[in-house]
C-alpha cells in the first residue's frame, strides 16, 4: 500500500496500462519531458520513450484529429487536453466525431480513446475554471468519469483506457495535491458504479470530485451539531450513471441533495432529480434539493470561493431543509 497524490495516481494508471498494452499511447500539450502542465504525467516519457509519449502543438483541433485517427486504426490514445474549458475549441470532435463514428459505421469503426481534462475551480478565472461535466453528459455515445480520490483515479482511468468507447475523464485541478492510500499491484475499477462513502439514514447527499470531501465534511458536522445522519455517495461516473445505488439509498433516507460545482442550469443533478421523479417519487419525504454554483461566469481569484458550494452552505441547506 502506497500513499499517492491524485496527480501521481494519474501517472500510475497510465503507466500500468502502457506496460500492459503496447497500443496505449499518450499525447497532448507538454505531456512528455515537462510531465504535464499539472505534473500528472511525470516519468512517463522517460519510461516509455518519445514514440509512445508525444507532445503536440498548441492546436486542440489538430491533436484531437490525430488521436481519433490513431484510435480508428488500432491504437488506444490517452489525450491530455489541459484545461477542461479548451474542450470548446474542439467541440466538433466531442459532439460529432468521437461519439458517433461507431454508431454510424454499424460497429465497423471504433474510437477507443480517453480525453483527460483538468476540470473545476482553482482560482484561474472564468475561462480556465469551469466544470464541464454537464457539457459532456449531454452527448450520446460519450462516457463521462469524474474521480474524487487517488485510488479511484487509478482504477477508473485504467477502466476507461480499456473501454472500447470514447471516455471523457475529468480530473479536478484542486484535488491534484490530495493524498490517499492506493493498493499495490494492478487496479481496475468498473465504470458506472457509484460509491457509498458514508452510510446514513436521514438524507442522501450526492457529490462529484471536489464536492465529495466537502459533502463528507458537511455530513460529519451535521451529525455532530444537529444529529442529522446523512448518507454520502460519490457518483464517480455520470455516463454510465449508477441509478440503482442512488435510488436504493433514497428509498432508505427519503431525502435527496445534490452538490454540484457546475452552473445550476442543466447541471447533472437536474437529470438525477428527473430520474427520481420518474422512478422513485413515492420514496421522497420532501422535494429534492440541488446545491449548485450560480448560473454566472466564475469571478477571479478568491471571489470564486463565494460561488462554489462550500461545507458551510451544504450544512446550512441540509439543516434548514430537514428542520423546517
Other C-beta atoms lying within 10 Å of the C-beta of residue 57: 9
Q: Residue 1: what pLDDT? A: 81
Nearby residues of 109 by Cβ (< 8 Å), 6 or more positions away: 72, 101, 102
**What is the distance between the alpha carbons of residues 11 and 84, in angstroms, rounded to a whole number?**
18
What would the pLDDT profile of 58-73 be if each residue is shown by its tens digit? Answer: 999 999 999 999 999 9
Q: Of 152, 182, 212, which residue constitutes the final position of a domain?
A: 182
Let me know if 128 is a catalytic residue: yes
Whether residues 14 and 59 share a domain: the answer is yes
Q: Residue 293: what pLDDT? A: 95
CATH number for 231: 3.40.50.920
Whether residues 98 and 238 share a domain: the answer is no
Catalytic residue (choose from 3, 17, 46, 60): 60
Whether residues 144 and 207 share a domain: the answer is no
Q: Residue 324: what pLDDT? A: 76
What would the pLDDT profile of 181-228 be if each residue is shown by its tens digit? Answer: 999 999 999 999 999 999 999 999 999 999 999 999 999 999 999 999
| 19 in any annotated domain | yes
Q: Residue 126: what pLDDT? A: 86
Mean pLDDT computed over 253-276: 96
Q: Which pLDDT band holds residue 160 (cuts at 50, 70, 90)?
A: very high
Q: Of 158, 182, 206, which residue constitutes the final position of a domain?
A: 182
Q: Residue 300: what pLDDT? A: 86
What would the pLDDT profile of 11-33 be if each residue is shown by its tens digit? Answer: 999 999 999 999 999 999 999 99
| 187 in any annotated domain | no
| 228 in any annotated domain | yes
Whether residues 52 and 177 share a domain: the answer is yes
pTM: 0.96
For the cut 80, the answer to whether the pLDDT of residue 174 exceeds it is yes
**What is the distance between the alpha carbons of residues 51 and 147, in angstroms, rounded to a whole number?**
29
Q: Residue 39: what pLDDT? A: 96
Q: Residue 283: what pLDDT? A: 97
Whether residues 44 and 98 share a domain: the answer is yes
Domain count, the chain: 2
- Higher model confidence: residue 304 or residue 171? 171
pLDDT > 70 in the chain, percent: 100
Mean pLDDT computed over 81-97: 93
Q: Which domain holds residue 316?
A: 195-323
Whether residues 67 and 10 share a domain: the answer is yes
Let me know if 255 is a catalytic residue: no
Determine the angle formed by the axes of helices 6-20 and 150-162, rounding to 10 degrees: 30
Amino acid at each position: 500500500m502506497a500513499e499517492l497524490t491524485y496527480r501521481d495516481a494519474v501517472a500510475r494508471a497510465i503507466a500500468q496500462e502502457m506496460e500492459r498494452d503496447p497500443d496505449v499511447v499518450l499525447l497532448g500539450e507538454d505531456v512528455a519531458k515537462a510531465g504535464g502542465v499539472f505534473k500528472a504525467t511525470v516519468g512517463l516519457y522517460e519510461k516509455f520513450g518519445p514514440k509512445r509519449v508525444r507532445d503536440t502543438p498548441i492546436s486542440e483541433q489538430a491533436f484531437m484529429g490525430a488521436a481519433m485517427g490513431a484510435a480508428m486504426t488500432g491504437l488506444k490514445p490517452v489525450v491530455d487536453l489541459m484545461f477542461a474549458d479548451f474542450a470548446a475549441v474542439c467541440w466538433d470532435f466531442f459532439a460529432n466525431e468521437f461519439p458517433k463514428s461507431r454508431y454510424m459505421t454499424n460497429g465497423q469503426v471504433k474510437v477507443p480513446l480517453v480525453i483527460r481534462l483538468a476540470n473545476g475551480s482553482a482560482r484561474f478565472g472564468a475561462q480556465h475554471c469551469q466544470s464541464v461535466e454537464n457539457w459532456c453528459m449531454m452527448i450520446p455515445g460519450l462516457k463521462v468519469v469524474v474521480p474524487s480520490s487517488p485510488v479511484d483515479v487509478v482504477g477508473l482511468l485504467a477502466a476507461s483506457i480499456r473501454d472500447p468507447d470514447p471516455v471523457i475523464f475529468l480530473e479536478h485541478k484542486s484535488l491534484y495535491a490530495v493524498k490517499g492510500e492506493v493498493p499495490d499491484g494492478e487496479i481496475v475499477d468498473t465504470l458506472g458504479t457509484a460509491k457509498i462513502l458514508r452510510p446514513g439514514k436521514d438524507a442522501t447527499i450526492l457529490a462529484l470530485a471536489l464536492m465529495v470531501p466537502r459533502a463528507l465534511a458537511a455530513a460529519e458536522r451535521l451529525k455532530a451539531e444537529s444529529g442529522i445522519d446523512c448518507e454520502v455517495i460519490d457518483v464517480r461516473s455520470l455516463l454510465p450513471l449508477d441509478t440503482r445505488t442512488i435510488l436504493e439509498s433514497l428509498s432508505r433516507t427519503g431525502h435527496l441533495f445534490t452538490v454540484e460545482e457546475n452552473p445550476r442550469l442543466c447541471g447533472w443533478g437536474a437529470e438525477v432529480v428527473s430520474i427520481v421523479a420518474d422512478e422513485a417519487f413515492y420514496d421522497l419525504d420532501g422535494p429534492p434539493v440541488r446545491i449548485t454554483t450560480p448560473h454566472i461566469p466564475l469571478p477571479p481569484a478568491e471571489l470564486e470561493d463565494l460561488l462554489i458550494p462550500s461545507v458551510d452552505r451544504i450544512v446550512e441547506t441540509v439543516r434548514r431543509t430537514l428542520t423546517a
